[in-house]
């Protein structure tokens, strides 16, 4: 069955440091992949998406993600973290074999930022 | 545009009670979905719809009903609430299969 795995439940970084959040997928074919961010008490906001083409995807708020087929990964990166980036981050995938491309979410990675 | 709206924001129920969580969108989106979010579990799909009159089950449909009589509205009904349904519920919509999914602000439900 298709799945999305986020190996890290909680990550703490210092403000100004670089960030990488991991995401691995398990699908029979190339999925469509997404990263969402959720601030406390809020809904989810789309950071970026990968459908096809260039494997390095740029998103909002200075985030980028790289699709690596050989590693079944879609890791999210940011070169310099700001305190306002503290939130929970969700990787999600959609698969063409799942009917109407419904999203499957990972369990999330909570990011804490130290001043 | 108001986007995706959900009511109520908070609700407390007793076991066995029924209620409807409301979801509406004003973006003329065909696709709408309901998710529940539990700590450490991410978001899990309950039901979804690909257009008025068309609904289907997601990963965790038991105990919930949906209908889609209009493009704008996609209510979620809890038939007989159970403590296991204590969760935060999110409604989402998108224009089509390959479009961005927009989320509502959520409804926090507690079942005692």
pLDDT score for A100: 58
Taking the Cβ of residue B31 and every Cβ of chain A, the question of whether any pair is shorter than 8 Å is answered with: yes
CA-to-CA distance for A25 and A41, rounded, in angstroms? 27
The residue of chain B nearest to residue A103, with distances taken between CA atoms, is B45
Among candidate residues B74, B72, B42, B73, the one with its CA nearest the CA of residue B60: B42
Taking the Cβ of residue A53 and every Cβ of chain B, the question of whether any pair is shorter than 8 Å is answered with: no
Q: Which chain B positions have a beta carbon within 8 Å of A108's beta carbon? A: 40, 42
Higher-confidence residue: B30 or A53? Answer: B30
CA-to-CA distance for B82 and B78, rounded, in angstroms? 9
Q: Is B3 helix (H, G, I), strand (E, B) or coil?
A: coil
Task: With CB atoms and an 8 Å threshold, state whether A42 touches B43.
Answer: no
Are A77 and A85 contacting, i.e. CB atoms less than 8 angstroms apart? no
Of A43, A94, A105, the CB nearest to B105: A43
CA distances to A46, A85, A86, B10 from B74, in Å: 21, 32, 32, 18
For B73-105, b/e burial (b = at least 16 CB within 10 A) is ebbbebeebeeebbbbbbbbbbeeeeeebbbbb
pLDDT score for A53: 83
pLDDT score for A97: 56
pLDDT 10s digits, B55-65:
999 989 999 99
Does the pLDDT at position A99 exceed 70?
A: no
pLDDT band at residue A91 under the 50/70/90 scheme = very high
Q: Residues with Cβ < 8 Å from A98, sequence gap 6 or more?
A: A2, A104
pLDDT score for B98: 76
Q: Is B45 helix (H, G, I), strand (E, B) or coil?
A: strand
Among candidate residues A44, A64, A17, the one with its CA nearest the CA of residue A108: A44
């Amino acid at each position: 069955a298709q799945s999305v795995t986020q190996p890290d439940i909680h990550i703490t970084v210092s403000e100004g440091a670089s960030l990488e959040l991991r995401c691995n997928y398990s699908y029979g074919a190339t999925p469509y992949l997404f990263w969402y961010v959720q601030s406390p008490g809020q809904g989810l906001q789309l950071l970026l998406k990968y459908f096809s083409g260039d494997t390095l995807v740029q998103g909002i708020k200075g985030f980028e993600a790289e699709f690596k087929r050989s590693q079944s990964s879609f890791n999210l990166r940011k070169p310099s973290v700001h305190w306002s980036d503290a939130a929970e981050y969700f990787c999600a995938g959609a698969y063409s074999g799942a009917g109407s491309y419904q999203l499957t979410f990972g369990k999330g990675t909570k990011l804490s930022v130290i001043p | 545009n108001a986007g995706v709206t959900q009511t109520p924001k908070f609700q407390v129920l007793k076991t066995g009670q029924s209620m409807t969580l409301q979801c509406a969108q004003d973006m003329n989106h065909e696709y709408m979905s309901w998710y529940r979010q539990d700590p450490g579990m991410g978001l899990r799909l309950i039901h979804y719809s690909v257009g008025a009159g068309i609904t289907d089950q997601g990963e965790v449909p038991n105990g919930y009903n949906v209908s889609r009589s209009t493009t704008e509205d996609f209510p979620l009904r809890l038939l007989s609430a159970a403590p296991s349904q204590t969760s935060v519920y999110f409604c989402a919509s998108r224009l089509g299969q390959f479009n961005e999914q927009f989320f509502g602000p959520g409804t926090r439900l507690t079942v005692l």
